[in-house]
Amino acid sequence: MSLAHLLLRQAQRQPQAPAILDGAQPHASYLQWAARSAGLARHLRDGGLQPGDRVLLFAHNHPRYLELLWGLWWAGLVAVPVNAKLHPREVEWIAADAGAQLAFVTRDVAPDALAGVAHQVDLESMEADQLLAPVAEPAAVPITERAPDDIAWLFYTSGTTGRPKGVMLTQRNLMTMGLGYFADVDPIARGDAIVYAAPISHGAGIYAIPHLMAGARHVVPASRGVDAAELFALGRAVGPLSMFAAPTIVARLVDHAAQQGLGPELCARSFKTIVYGGAPMYAADIQRALSVMGPRFVQIYGQGETPMVGTVLSRADLKDRAHPRHAERIASVGVAQTPVRVRVTDAQGQDLPLGEVGEVLIQGDSVMAGYWGNPQATAAAIRNGWLFTGDMGALDEGGYLTLKDRSKDLIISGGSNIYPREVEEALLTAAGVAEVAVVGQPDPEWGENVVAFVVAQPGAAPTQEAADAHCLQRIARFKRPKRYVFVPELPKNNYGKVLKTELRRWLASA
C-alpha cells in the first residue's frame, strides 16, 4: 500500500469536501487534490522517472506543496523536502547526495537554477500548472505499488555539527506515525482543520498524513508562515485550528493572546490543539501557556529518525493540576507512544534503574530504515533494533521520561555531571529573564565551566549578581554558571532550536 491510497480513498468517500485552503479561501476539494496529484504522477512517469527516484522540494509553505507530495507518492517516487531557509549551495549538496533529478521550488528561495539538478520547476509557473493539471478520473491513473519498507520521504537532518544526513523514512514509518497520532496525540474529526505555519518540509508536513486519514481540512496561511494575529483570526474564520509548533512559536501565540487579553475561552475559538515539540519546552513556559490559553496543548518527543513518534505528554496530563506529581510531569516529555518502546541505558546499552540518567533508546515501526548512503552512521545509530537517540534522560515508575540534554551538551565540571537544562529551568524563573541557553566552556582546572547566555525580557535589565543569587536558591552551587553573557537574542535554526554549537564557537573565538 502507498500513502497515495489515503488520498484516493478520501476523494472517493467525500469528493466535494474542502481539503486544502489558501488562507480562508478554498484551494482544492478532496477530488481536486487527488485529480491534480494523479495528473502530476502521470506526467512524471511519462517523463521517465522510475519508482524510487528522488525529487527535491525546496519551497516555502504553499497550497501546492501537499499536491506535490501526494503526486510523488502516487508515482512511487521519494520526496526530499528541504528547509526553505537553507542557502542554495547547501541545497545543491543535498540534491547531489540524494541523486535528485528534479526539483520543485518557489522563486523566492531559488531564483536561479540549482546546480546539478537536471530540471527545476517553479510552483507558480505555467509549467507547474501543466504538471498539476487535473485528470478527469483519479482512479484511472494507477497508483504505483510500494512495499512497506520502501522509502517515501528522505529527510535531511539540520547538520549543525557537520554535513546533514539523509534519514530514510519508509511507507511503514509514516503510516505508523499517522495511526499513532489517533492513538496517543489527539482525535481528529472529519472537517477539523490543521494549519501549516511551521515548515511543511518537516514535522508540520508529516502531520498532514493523519489529518488526511481523517478527511480534515489543510490550511496554509496567506503569510506562508507564523503570524500570531493572522493565526488567531484564521482560526475564528475557518474553525478552531490544530497545528504543530516549536516552543518559540507557542511563545509567540501566548504573548499575542496575553497582549490582546484573550483568555482560554476566546483562545478556544481559534485553536483546538497545539502539539509542541522539536526543542525543549521549559516548565515555566508551558505553565504560562496553559494559564493564558487553556488546556489545548499536547507535547510530543521524537526525532527525524523516528518522525514525531517517541513519547507523548497528553492534554489530560498537562491539565491535571491536582495530581501530586503534576510539577514533575509537565517538566517531562511524557510516556512512550503506542507504536514504540523506550529505554534508558548506560554507555554499554544496559538498562539503568529508574531515576538514573542515561541515553534514550527507541524501538518500533516508526524508526527509520537508516541513513541514505551512510552505512557507518546507520550502524552507530541503530543497534540490535534500537535507535540510540543521543538524548539523555531518566524514566520514573510511571513510565514518564524526563529529558536532560543531548549527550554532546552534557557539561562535566570538576568531575561532576551538569545538565544544562536543569540550569536553564532555574534561570527562566528569575525576574526579567526571557530566554536562556547554557553551554560548557573548556577550563584547564575544572575541565569545563558553566556559561549562561541570557536574553532579557523587554524593558528588563537582569544582572549577573541577581541571576547568581537566584540560582543559588534553586540548584547546587557547583551547577550555577561561572559566567553570564547577556545577549539580545539566541542563535536558532528554522525550527526554533537553539544552536548551542554557535554559542560554543563564539566562546572559543572570544
List, edge to edge, every strand of the sheet that includes 433-443: 433-443, 447-456, 483-486
Helix spans in 300-446 (H): 315-319, 326-330, 375-381, 420-427
pLDDT value at residue 308: 96
Query: What is the percent of the chain with per-residue pLDDT over 90, rounded to a whole number?
Result: 78
pLDDT category of residue 79 using cuts at 50, 70 and 90: very high
Say what the pLDDT of residue 160 is: 43
Q: How far apart are CA 28 and CA 23, in angstroms?
A: 12
pLDDT (0 to 100) of residue 442: 86
Strand partners, 218: 20, 194
Higher pLDDT, 314 or 412: 314
Q: How many of the other CB atoms lie within 10 Å of CB of 461?
A: 9
pLDDT (tens digit per residue) in 278-313: 877 888 889 999 999 999 999 999 999 999 999 999
pLDDT band at 85 (very low <50, low <70, confident <90, very high): confident
Tell me: the pLDDT tens digits for 199-225? 999 999 999 999 999 999 999 999 999
Predicted local distance difference test score (pLDDT) of residue 404: 83
The answer on pLDDT for 191 being more than 60 is yes
306-313, strands of its sheet edge to edge: 25-29, 18-22, 217-220, 193-195, 241-245, 271-276, 297-303, 306-313, 335-336
Residue with cell 496525540: 185
Q: Give bridge partners of residue 20 from the DSSP assignment.
A: 28, 218
3-state secondary structure of 455: strand
Give the CA distances from residue 82 to residues 92, 114, 149, 156, 491, in Å, rounded to whole numbers and listed in that order: 11, 13, 22, 7, 20
Q: Which of 327, 323, 325, 358 lies closest to 342, judged by CA?
A: 358
Rounded mean pLDDT, 342-366: 94
Question: What is the reported pLDDT for 407?
Answer: 66
pLDDT tens digit sequence for 3-44: 999 999 999 999 999 999 999 999 999 999 999 999 999 999
How far apart, in whole angstroms, are the C-alpha atoms of residue 419 and residue 125?
50
C-alpha distances (whole Å) from 395 to each of 8, 165, 398, 416 are 42, 29, 8, 21
pLDDT (average), residues 359-374: 97
| Residue whose entry in the numeric block shows the C-alpha cell 497550497 | 63
**pLDDT tens per residue, range 160-183:** 445 789 999 999 999 999 999 999
386-395 and 358-364: which strand pairing?
A: antiparallel
Backbone phi and psi for residue 356, each to the nearest 5 degrees, phi listed first: -85, 145
Per residue in 413-454, pLDDT (tens digit) is 866 678 788 889 889 999 999 999 999 998 877 778 899 999
3-class DSSP state for residue 123? coil
Contact 207, 161 (CB under 8 A): no
Q: What does DSSP say about strands 193-195 and 217-220: parallel, antiparallel, or unpaired?
A: parallel
Which residues have C-beta within 8 Å of that of residue 161, sequence separation ≥ 6? 408, 501
Q: Closest Cα to residue 80, out of 61, 63, 59, 62?
A: 59
Q: How far apart are alpha carbons 239 and 481 in whole angstroms?
A: 46
Q: 168 - beta bridge partners? A: 154, 370
Amino acid at 477: R
Over 90: is that where the pLDDT of 248 sits?
Answer: no
pLDDT given for residue 139 in this prediction: 97
Residue whose grid cell is 531518566: 394
Measure the CA–CA gap between 169 and 192, rounded to whole angstroms. Answer: 27
| Domains with residue ranges and CATH for the chain | 1-170 (3.40.50.12780), 338-406 (2.30.38.10), 410-509 (3.30.300.30)
- Determine the Cα–Cα distance for residues 505 and 453; give it in Å rounded to an integer: 13
Cα-Cα-Cα-Cα dihedral sign, residues 211, 217, 220, 221: negative
The residue-averaged pLDDT of 469-473 equals: 89
Q: In angstroms, how far is the first alpha carbon of the chain from the final one?
A: 55
Bigger pLDDT: 408 vs 107: 107
**pTM of the full structure:** 0.85
Query: Alpha carbon of 89 to those of 94, 113, 153, 167, 371: distances in Å?
Result: 9, 11, 21, 20, 21
In order of 49, 62, 71, 162, 361, the CA distances from 78 in angstroms are 11, 19, 10, 24, 27
Q: What is the separation of C-alpha 459 from the centre of its chain, rounded to a whole number of angstroms?
A: 32
User: What is the reported pLDDT for 494?
Assistant: 63
pLDDT above 90 for 261: yes
Residue 162 pLDDT: 58
Over residues 111-120, the mean pLDDT reads 93
Cβ atoms of 78 and 152 within 8 Å: the answer is yes
Instruction: Say which DSSP state 503 is in.
Output: H
Contact 127, 121 (CB under 8 A): yes
3-state secondary structure of 291: helix
